[in-house]
């Protein structure tokens, strides 16, 4: 059974989550070892915040992608939630990574869109789980 909205099969989102988690580790290490001393304290804080949100939401993506397999969530809402989490990582965390590296504050206009994607994903999850219960 494939997720509604999935690209190819039921492994799409767990694979994406695993890749995003590996990327979070790499970006965290890059920040700790490659950027420390090159960025000011503000920019380093922005980078670290991006890595934290990246990790949390990539882990959430992994967990949500498994919920249909254990019968806790229907595949269609799971797919929506996974896409929203992935979009949030790209928009929220991506804009913070670029802001930290470039100092271009105009990207701050993109960050809230990623935050809204995160919020929508978690609220959709809450609603979908409440309807199942």
pLDDT reading at 7 higher than 70: no
More confident residue, 9 or 100: 100
Decide: 71 and 132 in contact? Cβ < 8 Å: no
Q: Which residues touch 33 (CB under 8 Å, ≥6 apart)?
A: none
pLDDT band of 54, cuts 50, 70, 90: very high
- In the prediction, which pLDDT does 78 show? 97
Question: What pLDDT digit, counting tens, does each position of 9-44 carry?
Answer: 579 999 999 999 999 999 999 999 999 899 999 999
Q: What is the pTM of this model?
A: 0.91
Average confidence score pLDDT of the chain: 92
DSSP 110: T
Q: Say which range, 1-5, 73-77, 88-92, 98-102, has the weakest mean pLDDT.
A: 1-5
pLDDT of residue 132: 81
What distance in Å separates the CA atoms of residue 57 and residue 84, rounded to the nearest whole number?
Answer: 10
């Amino acid at each position: 059974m494939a997720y509604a909205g999935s690209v190819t099969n039921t492994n799409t989102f767990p694979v994406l989550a695993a890749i995003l988690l590996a990327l979070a580790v790499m970006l965290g290490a890059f920040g700790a070892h490659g950027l420390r001393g090159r960025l000011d304290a503000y920019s380093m804080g922005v980078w670290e915040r991006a890595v934290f949100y990246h990790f949390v939401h990539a882990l959430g993506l992994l967990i949500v992608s498994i919920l249909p397999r254990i019968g806790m969530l229907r595949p269609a809402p799971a797919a929506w939630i996974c896409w929203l989490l992935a979009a949030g990582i790209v928009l929220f965390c991506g804009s913070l990574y670029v802001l930290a590296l470039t100092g271009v504050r105009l990207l701050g206009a993109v960050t809230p869109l990623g935050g809204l994607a995160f919020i929508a994903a978690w609220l959709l999850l809450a609603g979908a789980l409440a309807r199942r219960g």
